[in-house]
Amino acid sequence: MATMSEATRGLDNGFDFFGSLIAGFLLGYGADWLFGSEPVGVIIGIVIGAAAGFYKLYMVAQHAEEEWNKTRTKRWPHD
């Protein structure tokens, strides 16, 4: 069963991804309002926000894998 800190970390990563999407949407909406290019800015903003969110999740996963590999080599030095 997951500990509270692991669950909190998972929620934090989810909120980071959702925040990236919202930020992209708001920036795209602002660009649409400023330039009058109705759906284009929102679409581009959401795509860029999703890409930023996925990149953040990728970096978190890389860090978690590195940490797991460190603990694994400490437990089983014969591997």
Please give the full DSSP string across 1-55, using - where no structure is assigned: ---HHHHHHHHHHHHHHHHHHHHHHHHHHHHHHHHT-HHHHHHHHHHHHHHHHHH
Instruction: Give the model's pLDDT for residue 9.
Output: 85
Structural domain harbouring 50: 12-71
Report the share of the chain in percent with pLDDT over 70: 89
Task: Say how many domains are in the chain.
Answer: 1
Residue 18 included in any domain? yes
Residue 3 included in any domain? no
Give the model confidence (pLDDT) of 7-37 as tens digits. 888 899 999 999 999 999 999 999 999 999 9
Residue 33 included in any domain? yes
